[in-house]
Each structure stands twice: as C-alpha cells, then as structure tokens.
Amino acid sequence: MKRMFIGCLLSAVVGGVVAAWLTNPSATWPGDQHALAQAPFSSSASAVSRAEPRVAAVQASAADTPLTPEEVTNIRVYEATNRGVVNINTKFEASDRFFFFSVPGQGAGSGSVIDKQGHVLTNYHVVEDADQIQVTLSSGYVDKDAELIGYDAENDIAILKVDAPADQLYPISFGHSGNLQVGQRVYALGNPFGFEGTITTGIISNLNRTLPSRVRDRELQSIIQTDAALNPGNSGGPLLDTSGRMIGMNVAIASKSQQNAGIGFAIPINRIARYVPELIRNGRIIRPDLGIVSVRETDRGLQIIDMNEAGPAARAGLRGQRVMRRQVRRGPFVEIKLTKDLSQTDFILEVDGEPVETGDALIEKIESHRPGDAINLTILRDGQRQRVNVTLGAS
C-alpha cells in the first residue's frame, strides 16, 4: 500500500508539471539560464525589469522560504548584469631585480562589455605592459588575443576589443554618477582571486575621494568610496546601482594586506563615459592645453611658475617666472649663472568666473573643455585683478 501511494503521488506530480508546460510552453523554469534578457541592454530599459522572469521562477521554486525584497533586488541585479562581466588574464615579461633578466609574469582582473561590437572597459593597470591579453566571457567563450585599442593612464581607463559573436555579448548600460548619495546601495561584480561571476554588495561610504594617479604628480578626483567587498581581481569590474546600471568602475582597495578591508574605490561613470568614445575612435585622449607647466599654490592665488614659451598662456600675455642670465668670473674662467625672478609673475584666481585654489582644481577646469575652446582667466597682476581670454591648444 505504501509503495502504491508513493507511486500515485509521483505520477500526480509529474502529470501536473507536464500539464503546466503544455498549457504554457514559454514559461521560465528555475533551471533555464538563458531565459533572461534576450534583448541587448540599453540605457532606456531598466536592468531590473529584465530579470523579472528569473526572479519569479526562483520565488516559485522556494515558496516555502519566500525571498525578502532586498534578496529579490540582489538577484535581479545579478541576473541582469553578470553575463556582461568578463575575466581578464594577462601575460608579461618582468625584470628580476637580483639577476637582471626577464621572467614571465601573469596578472588578472575584470572588465565590462559595453557594446555589441566587442568593446570591453577595464582599468589600464590591469593590462599595462601586457604581451598577451586573454578575455573570457561568462558563456565560456575565450579570446586569447584581445586587442588593447585605447587607454588613458592618467584616469586608469582602457578599452579592449574582443573577437566574439554578437549573440554572446551582453553590454552593461551606463548610469549616472552625478547624483549619487552616501548610503546608497551598490553592487560590485568581478573575478576576485579568479572566482568568476562573484557579486558583493554594500553602500556608498563616501564621495569625492582622491587617489594617486598612475601619472606622476597627478591625482584621480571625485572617486567613489564603497564598503562592498573588493579584492585582487575585482579591478576593472563594474560598480552597479539597484537598477543594474554601471555607476563606476572598481579601481583600488585600501588595505595593508592587499585584501578586502571594507574600503574600496571606483572611478565615477560620468568621467569614463566622457572618454570612452574618444578612446575607441583615437586610441588616446587629446587633452586641452593651457600651456602652463607648473604653478605654486599661495594665499594670493596660483602663482604661474613655468610656461611653454609658445603655448596658449604665453600667447595670451600671461607672465611666469623670468630666467636671468649673468656672467660670473672665477679666476681665468667665466661661468653663466642662472637666477629666477618671480617678481612679475601672474596669479590665477578664477577660471570662467569660478575660483580655483589648487593645481588639481585648475587641471579639472581645463579638462572640462576641448582643444580650441576659449576660456576666461581672472588673474592678479601687480596687485590688480584682470581678465584674460585664452584659447586652449591640444596636448
């Protein structure tokens, strides 16, 4: 009797499943990994809405343990974006510090598919000096010789090109980073320690942090700080909002052990979006050039020290330090001694009517323009405020 009862019960269950499939053959089942987001990602569609069928299936299969709203959001974001994250492995030759010969080295990081043409966004430091770049898509497709088509070391941005079928590329849409709030929930996707497809969650811990740039004497401004767990291998991966849109690119962690310590950083997407088209088109960033080489921060303003003699600032009549040459006789020999005269230098106070108090602030203002743009500088000369128009050149 017990065996007969169990057999009847199994028959009823199987019959119910078959009947349900016959009446609705297009339904998404819990094991269907490819039912989500068949259409490519676009900025006009929410990533979360594309994960609805998968989330509904998960909830239906776990009716006895219903998901919380927070868990539902986590699943939606992961299912909508995970296929757009790639694993990057590099090979390079490194110099041995003791024996002065090259030894093979390897590196790893993450990246984000950004279009159907196979462009992948990552950090420049992930692929810097690489002799070979291997990109693995979430589907398992591998491009062993991905091409570095553009990079900007100063902002730690690189664009790769992978040779992959369009139907295996799932671009992640760009969001906006101009209106982020401290406390806002975020998600980090990537391949920490080689564990591909890893998602961590946290909040925006703070905004407008500053990090050293890979270019000497420059800094990365307006960096996002997050407590979402980041580890080696996360670099280049996306930082996402609850709609599955990329609001930043993970770039660094603050840790003495090089492992997660609850302090991670991401480059804001608004800055990245400004440079990506030019990197794809030209392979590099053509920056606006003011023609000022160095300034000194003083309580009177930014004192101009060195300028390019034929640069835009010099052509506009701005004044930096003067180099004085005089002959000094030492016995039978005559030496040329150089002295610097700062008595007539100009001090920069404002750019287009907005105060600038640091060298980085001046650079930020200049780089918000394009070569050929005209800017208005407010300067202090001989104790008097003056306005000078400068047409920016190209770096």
Query: What does each C-alpha distance from 139 to 90, 165, 360 come to in angstroms?
Result: 19, 11, 43
Are 278 and 291 contacting, i.e. CB atoms less than 8 angstroms apart? Answer: no
Measured in degrees and rounded to the nearest 5, phi and psi for residue 273 equal -60, -30
Q: Which residues are catalytic?
A: 125, 156, 235
Phi, psi of 218 (to 5 degrees): -125, 160
**Given the structure tokens 């400068």, which residue do they identify?**
390
- CA–CA dist 383, 174 (Å, integer): 48
Residue 343 has a pLDDT of 83
Tokens of 210: 């500053």
Q: pLDDT tens for the chain, 395 residues: list them.
A: 434 443 443 344 334 433 333 334 333 322 233 332 333 333 444 555 555 555 555 555 555 678 999 999 999 999 999 999 999 999 987 665 555 555 677 889 999 999 999 999 999 999 999 999 999 999 999 999 999 999 999 899 999 999 999 999 999 999 999 889 999 999 999 999 888 899 999 999 999 888 888 776 677 878 999 999 998 899 999 999 999 999 999 997 776 666 666 789 999 999 999 999 999 999 999 889 999 988 989 999 999 998 888 899 999 999 988 876 767 777 777 777 767 778 889 999 999 999 998 887 888 899 889 899 999 999 999 999 999 999 999 87
- What integer pLDDT is reported at residue 184 of this predicted model? 96
Is the Cβ–Cβ distance between 190 and 246 less than 8 Å?
A: no
Retrieve residue 278's tokens: 């030019």
Name all domains of the chain by residue range, CATH numbers in brackets. 82-285 (2.40.10.120), 288-394 (2.30.42.10)
* 101 close to 67: Cβ distance less than 8 angstroms: no
Length of the chain, in residues: 395
Closest CA to 125 of 45, 64, 212, 63: 212
pLDDT for 35 equals 30
Tokens of 61: 């299969």
Distance of CA 112 to the CA centre of its chain: 10
d(CA 46, CA 244): 7
Q: Are 187 and 203 in contact (CB under 8 A)?
A: no
Residues 6+ away with beta carbon under 8 Å from 204? 180, 181, 182, 183, 184, 186, 224, 225, 226
- Separation of alpha carbons 350 and 94, rounded Å: 46
Q: How far apart are CA 291 and CA 390, in angstroms?
A: 10
Q: How far apart are CA 356 and CA 370, in angstroms?
A: 19
Give the dihedral sign, CA 18/20/25/28. Answer: negative
Return the pLDDT at 199.
Answer: 95
Q: Write out the two tokens for 267.
A: 């480059």
